[in-house]
Amino acid sequence: MQSKELMEQRIVANINGEIGGDFKKIHRAALLVDQYQNCIERLKQKLNNSHTTINGDTSIKSAMQTQRTTNQSIEFQLEKLCQFKLKLSPKINDANEVLKHVFKDLESIRKLQQFSRYLKIVQDVQEISQSLSLAINGKDEAKLVNIYLTLFEDNDCENSVIGRLSNIDSHFLKTFAVKTAIHWHTILSEKFASEMEHILKSMRWGYKEYDSLTFSPSRENVIKAQLLAEYLFLVIYNKYIHISYFLYFHIHIYFFLDKIPS
């Protein structure tokens, strides 16, 4: 805008310089008009000659045409976007309303899934306890120990019930499982210790007349004693871990209840 005004001022100054304040020189105005027209024509011809493309159009004209085409294309795309926005906005609002209800349902589903996992663990503990009750008087002691280890085995967090409880925040559920494990630990320890004592007595181990040079127990008793020692190790190995879990859970419960305002 400033350059246009500056150019007009220069033209006016030039005209004033040619004509001045002498009215007799007013006829020079027509000459100045012709002079400016000739200059414009020469400038136009110069531009056409120096910026002519292969098709005969000037590069300036071609650039302006390209700009107009581009602007039209942009305006067309903007119009399409506006129309798409008008169509999409109601759908987005509807979807947001649906999501609000879905999120509430998802939270309910999550709680139900968590409750289902808790019930599954309770069911597993009860089934293991029932299986141990049925197997306690049987002769398959290896099966008895294996069933017990599905309830708790320190090195197997994937398949043991108490191992699965390590990532679940439920003190009472953990206490129930640990109490069950301690209960069966006591029963199995007493059972295997009693049988081991019986085997050692039958071998007269530790008696006054015992002589290591002449001691020759039967192969059956030796194998039985080895198996019982292994079973006792597997059961007693978890004894202190059971107690640690039990104390840990009860201490946390104690502090939790202690912080509840009366």
Same domain, 58 and 85: yes
Confirm if 117 and 123 have CB atoms less than 8 A apart.
Answer: no
If 0-12 CB within 10 Å is exposed, 13-18 middle and 19+ buried, where does residue 253 land?
middle
Average pLDDT over residues 150-174: 76
Q: Assess if residue 19 is contained within a domain.
A: yes
- pLDDT score for 52: 53
pLDDT band per the 50, 70, 90 thresholds, residue 127: very high
Q: Is the pLDDT of residue 57 over 80?
A: no
In terms of Cα–Cα distance, which of 64, 180, 59 is closest to 131?
180
Average pLDDT over residues 235-239: 66
**What residues contact residue 252 under an 8 Å CB cut-off, 6+ apart?**
171
- pLDDT score for 261: 38
Q: Domains in the chain: how many in total?
A: 2
Same domain, 72 and 191: no
CB under 8 Å, gap of 24 or more: what pairs does 36-45 form?
36/11
- pLDDT score for 126: 92
Domain limit, last residue, from 90, 125, 159? 90
pLDDT band per the 50, 70, 90 thresholds, residue 167: confident
Of the chain, the percentage scoring pLDDT greater than 90 comes to 3
Running DSSP on this structure, what letter comes out for residue 58?
B
Same domain, 222 and 120: yes
- pLDDT score for 248: 40
Same domain, 18 and 134: no
- pLDDT score for 129: 92
In terms of Cα–Cα distance, which of 118, 157, 124, 128 is closest to 241?
157
If 0-12 CB within 10 Å is exposed, 13-18 middle and 19+ buried, where does residue 125 land?
buried
Q: CA Rg, the chain, in Å?
A: 50
- Which amino acid belongs to residue 73? S
Q: Assess if residue 97 is contained within a domain.
A: no
| Domain assignment of residue 204, given as a range | 106-258
User: Average pLDDT of the chain?
Assistant: 74
Which tens digits make up the pLDDT trace of 181-192? 889 988 988 888
